[in-house]
Homo-oligomer: A and B are copies of this chain.
Amino acid sequence: MRSIAVTLVAAVYMCPAMGQKPAPIASAQVVQEVRDYRTDHEDRIVRELAEFLAIPNVASDTPNIQRNAEHLVEMLEARGIETHLLPITGRGPVVFGKLIAPEASRTVIFYAHYDGQPVDAAAWTDGTPFEPVLRSDAIEVGGKRIPFLENSAKHTAVYQDDWRIYARSASDDKSPIVGLLAALDAMRAKQIPLQVNLKVIFEGEEEAGSTNLAHTLELHKNLLAGDLLITADGPVHQSGRQLVFFGNRGDIGLDVTVYGPVRALHSGHYGNWAPNPAMELSRLLASMKDADGRILIDGYYDDVTPLSDLERKALAEMPVNDADLERELGIAKPEGAGKKLVELLEEPSLNIRGLSSAYVGEHAQNVVPDKAEASIDARLVKGENPHKKFEQIAAFIKKQGYFVMDREPTMEERRTHALIAKVIDQGGYRASRTAMDLPVSKALVKVVEEATGDDTVIAPTLGGSVPMYIFEDLGLPWIGVPIVNYDNHQHSSDENLRLGHLWRGMEIYAAILADLNW
Binding site for B on A (CB under 8 A): 60, 117-118, 120, 140, 234-235, 248-249, 251, 253, 255, 259-276, 278-279, 281-283, 285-289, 291, 293, 326-336, 341, 344-345, 347, 349-369, 372-375, 377, 379, 409, 411, 414-418, 462-465, 486, 489-492
* Contact A235/B269 with A366-B353, A492-B263 known, Cβ cut-off 8 Å: yes
Q: Write out the residue numbers on chain B whose beta carbons fall within 8 Å of the beta carbon of A366.
A: 117, 251, 253, 353, 377, 491
Question: Are A356 and B353 in contact (CB-based, < 8 A)?
Answer: no
- A269-B464, A326-B415, A353-B369 are known; give 9 further A-B pairs, CB within 8 A: A117-B366, A235-B269, A255-B364, A264-B492, A278-B374, A332-B414, A354-B357, A354-B359, A366-B377
Question: Are B271 and A361 in contact (CB-based, < 8 A)?
Answer: no
> Closest CB-CB distance, A419 to chain B, in whole Å?
8
Q: Write out the residue numbers on chain B whose beta carbons fall within 8 Å of the beta carbon of A286.
A: 279, 282-283, 285-287
- 10 examples of A-B residue contacts, CB within 8 angstroms: A272-B463, A273-B344, A278-B355, A281-B355, A282-B282, A282-B355, A330-B415, A331-B415, A353-B364, A364-B377
Question: Are B415 and A365 in contact (CB-based, < 8 A)?
Answer: no
A452 to B335 alpha-carbon distance, docked (Å): 63
A375 to B368 alpha-carbon distance, docked (Å): 11
A265 to B351 alpha-carbon distance, docked (Å): 11
Give the nearest-CB partner of A139 in chain B: B263
Question: Are A329 and B263 in contact (CB-based, < 8 A)?
Answer: yes
A218 to B62 alpha-carbon distance, docked (Å): 63
Across the interface, A463 reaches (CB within 8 A) one of B268, B285, B417, B489, namely B268
A344 to B364 alpha-carbon distance, docked (Å): 23
* Contact A414/B331 with A251-B366, A360-B354, A369-B354 known, Cβ cut-off 8 Å: yes
Across the interface, A272 reaches (CB within 8 A) one of B333, B335, B409, namely B335
* Contact A353/B344 with A333-B275, A414-B330 known, Cβ cut-off 8 Å: no
* Contact A349/B267 with A354-B359, A358-B354, A366-B377 known, Cβ cut-off 8 Å: yes
Question: Are A365 and B349 in contact (CB-based, < 8 A)?
Answer: no
A31 to B491 alpha-carbon distance, docked (Å): 68
Question: Are A373 and B345 in contact (CB-based, < 8 A)?
Answer: no
A439 to B419 alpha-carbon distance, docked (Å): 48
> Closest CB-CB distance, A301 to chain B, in whole Å?
12
Q: Write out the residue numbers on chain B whose beta carbons fall within 8 Å of the beta carbon of A264.
A: 491-492
Q: Write out the residue numbers on chain B whose beta carbons fall within 8 Å of the beta carbon of A274.
A: 329, 331, 334-335
Across the interface, A335 reaches (CB within 8 A) one of B273, B289, B374, B414, namely B273
Give the nearest-CB partner of A326 in chain B: B415
Q: Write out the residue numbers on chain B whose beta carbons fall within 8 Å of the beta carbon of A345.
A: 269, 272-273
A355 to B363 alpha-carbon distance, docked (Å): 11
Across the interface, A118 reaches (CB within 8 A) one of B265, B271, B363, namely B363
Q: Write out the residue numbers on chain B whose beta carbons fall within 8 Å of the beta carbon of A235.
A: 269
Question: Are B367 and A492 in contact (CB-based, < 8 A)?
Answer: yes
Q: Write out the residue numbers on chain B whose beta carbons fall within 8 Å of the beta carbon of A259.
A: 330
* Contact A415/B464 with A355-B355, A359-B375 known, Cβ cut-off 8 Å: no
Across the interface, A268 reaches (CB within 8 A) one of B249, B268, B279, B330, namely B249
Question: Are B336 and A273 in contact (CB-based, < 8 A)?
Answer: yes
